[in-house]
A and B are shown apart, each in its own frame.
Chain A
């Protein structure tokens, strides 16, 4: 478990990154927190020719609130997201879900942007980004491109990022007292990737909820909004029907932890709990 030989470039600025892309193209891989990349290197599952270390680029880190949007720099560590009062107040879904991301040591190094760019279908943050209708800012030498989270994730560890682009920040519309949220995850042990999980938000109406953005993650190749219930109003007596509809629309992948049939049973339980949580949630101030 020793990494193969690679060239290491320390990027001090965005220009350094663009220069590396220009020189090495696909051969250049971004090193952010390294919590997925370094094990893959040591197991020789990835053998990139060049690592471009963006840790020195200070401006890629930080959490800022402006125009009812939270702007999270791609290099912001999970621990900073987890500790930020701003996140807990304006995006409680992320405040809850971030605690399920691996363990403390990994959260200290791992980054918010790295998790999105890595696009593991069982990871929590991509699912939350989709549920919260996040926008990802991708920059290249030619300028910035804005991509909705719903369009960004294409498949297992596959995204819309082009090889000359770097994910620099994420915009998340904040939520207020008219929103409800729910998060449930089944994993073997606390901090493991989800066997199945649900991230959901909705808007309160005088009766029930609408604008339901419910993502079942960890069982399909990418996190996506469950469209079958997205345009309907949820009232308590419809929970069972909604849950059945969401699950019917799923096409789970089998893995070591269970076949598709088992995943559907588990997803059903978590979707039902999430819908009940959304309905039961007290308005927050």
Chain B
């Protein structure tokens, strides 16, 4: 048979899943090297303090201790981080040292590293390090960070304001003046942690005679880290190799350069020995990046028919003590503004984000970066407007959704669209969830004193960001992905890709793309990734890019290899390559079988002498892809939640959840479904449970999994997934990203669902997460505590 085998669009199970389930993975902590020492950090117990002195005498003498290192030891060999963006010249950013030198700016900042024969001995010795502190007043509350006379997080910056960005398009003043209905709401979004199953971890191995550094690290992008370690340690880049073996979840937490890992790597250089550093769960909560701490006010102007006339949004984003290196911490706040109203036609838009430093753990990019905030704000505003106008929430969305007539579009918030399928998603979603019958059930329940709510959240998602963002930003991050293919003598294929996989199944998808494009079986390919020194240069994994960019690079490489194979085949059969095809590892001329790929492979590897001299026998290709035509691919969709609020206790029970989503070509439906479900669960965690709580002194009160509540299976509803498939333009594969859609839209469905349930009682929640206490606060204050701030003042 000469029909190409259908492999793209089929739910292949992940080939590595059994290996991982059988406990045969190699995570960073599994790596054990000769002469390896273990590191423990002494971290600041204060949110803000001066280091008067550090006495390491007793620690140095303790059992098993190899060396105790302070910031002053490291500064000799390791330059500090400063995370800035070139197109934001007004942004200010402090220097961050691997270990603090004179002043600590958050509770948990590292000040001293103990290197010992085991982690337990290192921890014992760390307790013997005597640090003399002078506690300074801490900046904790984001609003207080900007008040006159407030303490300053970094004195040399003279202000806590990292930057301000205004965005204005169209005449909002006129829009609000002419609107039939103007609604407003205030929002508080709780600070969140990322909580990957495997914590951050690193094994650094510096070989002093040749000054060669190998770093095994649980990370999303080894290429970026090679650049960071080479530059900050003054090593030539080709002497540095960063390898990410199996990585147990990342979510953006493992996208950044942390001072802790920098310390471990620098310590290996100092000692000339391998150093292992595993961040434990407690340290993880105080030193992994946090995100999403924002307060916001939003206003929406609509016509009598519910058509949006204008949006105003003012956001204060608190990013902790430092702007995280090298990508900075401003993306969360900027994207929150840009995505407020992004799915809808916005004639007039006015937004502002202010970003402030505070004495808390630094923030950074976490799954869906800022987009859930913008989505929650607009979806809540549009629901309030719908209620005022007595228009159904689904209908008001349909009236405002961007559709194909609006394309292509450069939207008011600055986003660029090529195609959308918002109304198709809405139609499919309403049908699947039996929307009308749920509304009837809701009414009937209310008569029994049971308060149920339906939340809808339309979203657009910025996926697979290309060089258009990082290039102008001057951030040394490569947005391309590469793929190398090698044909082995038995006709089997090895792939080496720059895309990385932290559990998503990206590599399985890439394997499918290659198999179908090349014309070999899925099992005839192995895929290798994560070795920054030996795979094609690229980005790795962030912003839902694995298939959209890494998959396209794989497709291009497969096309090229296929061309090479068919040319060689033509020479071997002494015919033309024009009608030759490669299907399931067999070469056909039209419908006629000619030879097995394995036979050809043997010839090009072992019997080149039988080929005419001008025949290409080199069966290796390497291709890269980076989006240049568009800055990114916009995916879109809508989610819905049905839930019940216990008005006696404030508890929320999730009954059911739906998502209709368009991520372009779907390479592996099962993996996409589970990306959506996993992402939704993470978003539901944000809405209901997850919160990094600090006291007034800047002490983190939720530094364990007992106090920082992540979503558990027992509370999660059934999640129904519907796909709409509009191919991305600009690539042959047509895939957009799918990794963040769930996390993006889920919190907004709960904002809308809870407030839909509470609306008959005249109450509205305004503070995420919606704990039982906050629901009761909303019910018993009847919203009087919830005031929209004066926007755009100060």
Contact = CB atoms under 8 A, between A and B. Distances in A.
Interface of A: 1-5, 39, 43-44, 186, 188-192, 195-196, 256-259, 262, 265-266, 268-270, 272-273
A265 B123 contact: no
A44 B123 CA distance: 10
B693 interface: yes
A258 B772 contact: yes
A186 B282 CA distance: 26
A269 B780 CA distance: 14
B715 interface: yes
B618 interface: no
Interface in B714-741: 714-715
Nearest to B651: A186
Contacts of A196: 649
Nearest to B280: A1
A257 B651 CA distance: 12
Contacts of B281: 1
Contacts of B771: 188, 257-258
Nearest to B121: A2
What's the interface size class on B, roughly?
20 to 34
A195 B119 contact: no
Given A266-B649, A269-B648, 17 more contacts: A3-B120, A186-B649, A188-B771, A188-B772, A189-B709, A189-B715, A190-B714, A191-B714, A258-B776, A262-B650, A262-B777, A265-B648, A265-B776, A265-B780, A266-B650, A266-B776, A269-B649
A186 B712 contact: no
Contacts of B714: 189-191
A273 B649 CA distance: 11
Nearest to A273: B648
19 contacts: A1-B282, A43-B704, A44-B123, A188-B689, A189-B709, A189-B711, A189-B715, A190-B714, A256-B701, A256-B702, A258-B772, A258-B776, A262-B773, A262-B777, A265-B650, A266-B648, A266-B650, A266-B772, A272-B648
Given A1-B280, A2-B123, A262-B773, A270 B649 contact: yes
Given A2-B123, A195-B772, A258-B773, A189 B689 contact: yes
Given A43-B704, A258-B771, A188 B709 contact: yes
B524 interface: no
B712 A190 contact: yes
B392 interface: no
B776 A43 contact: no
B707 interface: yes
A62 to B, nearest CB: 30
Given A43-B704, A265-B780, A269-B648, A189 B712 contact: yes
B712 to A, nearest CB: 5
A188 B714 CA distance: 11
Contacts of B776: 258, 262, 265-266
B124 interface: yes
A-B pairs, top 9 by smallest CB distance, nearest first, are A269-B648, A258-B773, A2-B120, A1-B280, A190-B714, A262-B773, A186-B649, A266-B649, A2-B123
A272 B773 CA distance: 19
Contacts of A1: 280-282
A198 to B, nearest CB: 11
B707 A256 contact: yes
Interface of B: 119-120, 123-124, 127, 280-282, 646, 648-651, 689, 693, 701-702, 704, 706-707, 709, 711-712, 714-715, 771-773, 776-777, 780
B712 A257 contact: no
Contacts of A195: 772
A43 B282 CA distance: 8
Nearest to A269: B648
A186 B701 contact: no
Contacts of B127: 44
Contacts of A268: 648
The residue among A186, A268, A270, A273 with the most chain B CB atoms within 10 A of its own CB is A186
Nearest to B122: A2
Label chain A's interface by main secondary structure.
Answer: loop
A192 B282 contact: no
Contacts of B715: 189-190
A257 B715 CA distance: 18
Nearest to B705: A39
B469 to A, nearest CB: 38
A192 B715 CA distance: 12
Contacts of B120: 2-3
B280 A256 contact: no
B716 to A, nearest CB: 10
Nearest to B123: A2
B117 to A, nearest CB: 13
A171 to B, nearest CB: 31
Contacts of B704: 39, 43
Contacts of B651: 186
A258 B775 CA distance: 11
Nearest to A43: B282
Contacts of B123: 2, 44
Nearest to A184: B649
A272 B282 CA distance: 39
Contacts of B124: 4-5
Contacts of B280: 1
A268 to B, nearest CB: 8
A43 B704 CA distance: 10
A256 B780 CA distance: 19
A5 B704 CA distance: 22
A70 B288 CA distance: 49
A186 B772 contact: yes
A189 B776 CA distance: 17
Nearest to A268: B648
A226 B176 CA distance: 57
A258 to B, nearest CB: 4
Contacts of B706: 39
A182 to B, nearest CB: 15
Residue among A43, A259, A266, A272 with max Cβ neighbours from chain B (10 Å): A266
A266 B650 CA distance: 8
A2, A186, A270, A272: which has the most chain B beta carbons within 10 Å?
A2
Nearest to B282: A1
A283 to B, nearest CB: 27
Contacts of A258: 771-773, 776
B455 to A, nearest CB: 20
B166 to A, nearest CB: 36
A109 B286 CA distance: 30
B712 A2 contact: no
Contacts of B702: 256
Contacts of B650: 262, 265-266
Most A-side CB within 10 Å, residue of B648, B709, B773 = B773
B686 to A, nearest CB: 14
Contacts of A266: 648-650, 772, 776
A257 B773 contact: yes
Contacts of A272: 648
A270 B772 CA distance: 13
B704 to A, nearest CB: 7
Contacts of A270: 648-649
Contact of B772 (A4, A43, A257): A257
A262 B649 CA distance: 9
A270 B715 CA distance: 20
